[in-house]
A and B are shown apart, each in its own frame.
Chain A
């Protein structure tokens, strides 16, 4: 399944604004996706580390890490929001 991953704010500055991603077998939720990206090592491991408070969205709706990912989904990872 191919999805789009978007990054914002400090994540975007290091990882870039977006990437296309082919979901490996068994990576069916946002949490497992985050773990898979951490598994790349390097900057992804550092920026998406479980030590960091991050939020995620699925198809432009805030979601938690249990959310299931479908083919063609748009996923986003970002730091806690600071608008208003």
Chain B
């Protein structure tokens, strides 16, 4: 089972969690996060969202993040799926699932990976609204979220 999948196809949370747990009797805790396309953004209705990525770099980047998560936390297994291409409101975008012996590490590992992915993984979202298409702006709040883990994001707050 690969740790990272970048794909246009949808995923099923319970299938992925079952695969993560399979044969691992020592995993007492599994946490998961699913990101979903909202139907509104910046006060506008969203018709669809296009997700672009940097093939090759995306997988490498997330693999490195998972390595870092294993270094920081006592994790047993990690699975990340991120969709790309054209998505609709209500569609699932991303899955981060983590197993550990106990819940503290599992919760932290999952949150750490999402905070890391939000500011360092090479994806870009373009929203289609009734007023036209716009590229989503990176959020400084996401940089601050990663800073809590002691990592400088340099994303929304990139130096010039």
Task: Please give me the residue from chain A that is nearest to B59 by CB atom.
Answer: A60
Would B135 and A9 count as touching, CB distance under 8 A?
yes
Q: Are A60 and B93 in contact (CB under 8 A)?
A: no
Chain B 119-136, CB-CB to A under 8 Å as 1, else 0, gives 111111110000000011
Q: Does B60 interact with chain A (Cβ within 8 Å)?
A: yes
Check if A76 is an interface residue, CB within 8 A of chain B.
yes
Q: What is the CA–CA distance of A64 and B137 in the complex, to the nearest angstrom? A: 20
Decide if A78 touches B56 in the complex (CB within 8 Å). Answer: no
Q: How many residues of B contact A (CB 8 A)?
A: 34
Contact between chains at A53 and B160 (CB < 8 Å): yes
Considering only CB atoms, which chain B residue lies closest to A10 in the complex?
A: B135
Overall SS of chain A's interface: loop
Is the beta-carbon distance between A83 and B158 smaller than 8 angstroms?
Answer: no
Q: How many residues of A contact B (CB 8 A)?
A: 24
**Chain B residues with CB below 8 A from A62, complex form:** 61, 120, 122
Q: Are A83 and B94 in contact (CB under 8 A)?
A: yes
26 sampled A-B residue pairs with Cβ under 8 A: A8-B54, A8-B122, A9-B52, A10-B124, A50-B160, A51-B160, A53-B158, A53-B159, A54-B158, A55-B154, A55-B158, A57-B122, A79-B124, A79-B135, A79-B138, A80-B158, A81-B124, A82-B124, A82-B135, A82-B138, A83-B94, A83-B117, A83-B123, A83-B125, A84-B93, A84-B123
Q: Enumerate chain A interface residues (CB-CB to B < 8 A).
A: 6, 8-10, 12, 50-55, 57, 60-62, 64, 76, 78-84
